[in-house]
A = this chain, B = another copy of it.
């Protein structure tokens, strides 16, 4: 730790190509908007907080070579870049949050010369990345206060250093607990169809020296039933105003199993993942992905041709299953409608 998931180097966005992990650690350098958007769309960079940072730098890439000489022309190019990035992935709200910040930054500087606006945008993106590092540490510290020595944590997908510029969300809590001298072990759901748990979470945790055991998603219930899970920690792609949580498909199932087995279920996410404008999880748009993610494996077909497929990338966990939401400002408890509102905008 930390893993340099996303960096800004020589006017390029340098990212780890997460589709190549764990077999190879490969970096790619995005020097234009199109390359960056493709990296988002194909999950080379992924996870709600990292999508915010990537989106902000995407705006920089999309406008830094603008030849506009007046603000209205520059704004048109800016809005085009924002639209293009907005259409990459619909669920994680951090992307839209960051794009909005970039727009506001440009508007605030609209009376400046274009080169100054470009400079301000780059500084804003760097600022978003710096803030992410700080809040990542803050969330980790708040969350670690909940963990006990010996805790066996179950997690889903990857909510670690690979989704932030630093420590991660759910895994950040575990890294921090380890630094505090607590022995914590992890059960990692492999997370079908794209195996972010098998490929990324295990890789991160092994690198950090945390004991981790890989399971298939359908084995988590068995472990809970046998009393082998003390807490569930997951990230979030978007939290609605009532506390409903959109996160990687399978999260709802874990929450139901945790409730049935009386195991605390925590969501770890920065405030930028909270969308107070959406009153309920039912209104969060859910990305549907390609059927080949399920019918093929490494380009080899596993299911018969012609079979229909349902492949949502996320599900909604109703607030009533969520024991707490760990943010950089503190641990929120039910009733979320009230505690989320108190966070303020």
Contacts and interface: CB of A to CB of B under 8 A. Distances in A.
A18 B217 CA distance: 23
A276 interface: no
> Chain B CB within 10 Å — which of A193, A214, A223 has the most?
A214
A226 to B, nearest CB: 9
- Identify whether the interface residues of A are mostly helix, strand, loop, or mixed: mixed
A304 B22 contact: yes
Given A298-B297, A308-B213, A310-B213, A218 B202 contact: no
Contacts of A249: 216, 218-219, 222
B250 A218 contact: yes
B215 A309 contact: yes
A218 B215 contact: no
A200 B184 CA distance: 39
B302 A225 contact: no
Contacts of A257: 253, 256
A48 B303 CA distance: 23
Interface string A198-239: 110011001000011111111111110100000000000000
A338 to B, nearest CB: 25
Contacts of A213: 307-310
By size class, the interface of chain A is 35 or more
Contacts of A306: 206
Given A304-B22, A315-B225, A294 B214 contact: yes
A280 B262 CA distance: 22
A339 B195 CA distance: 43
Contacts of A22: 303-304
A298 B22 CA distance: 17
A319 interface: no
Given A22-B304, A202-B307, A253 B214 contact: no
Nearest to A204: B304
A11 interface: no
Contacts of A294: 190, 198, 214-216
A191 interface: yes
B195 A217 contact: no
Contact of A253 (B187, B220, B297, B308): B220
Interface in A263-314: 294-295, 297-298, 300-304, 306-312
B212 A307 contact: yes
A252 interface: yes
B253 A218 contact: yes
A303 B198 contact: yes
A38 interface: no
A316 interface: yes
A260 interface: yes
27 contacts: A22-B304, A23-B301, A190-B303, A191-B218, A192-B192, A193-B216, A195-B302, A198-B295, A206-B304, A213-B307, A214-B307, A214-B308, A215-B310, A216-B249, A216-B294, A216-B311, A217-B217, A218-B250, A219-B249, A221-B252, A221-B253, A222-B315, A222-B316, A223-B310, A253-B253, A256-B256, A256-B257
6 tightest A-B contacts by CB? A218-B250, A221-B253, A192-B216, A22-B304, A222-B315, A217-B218
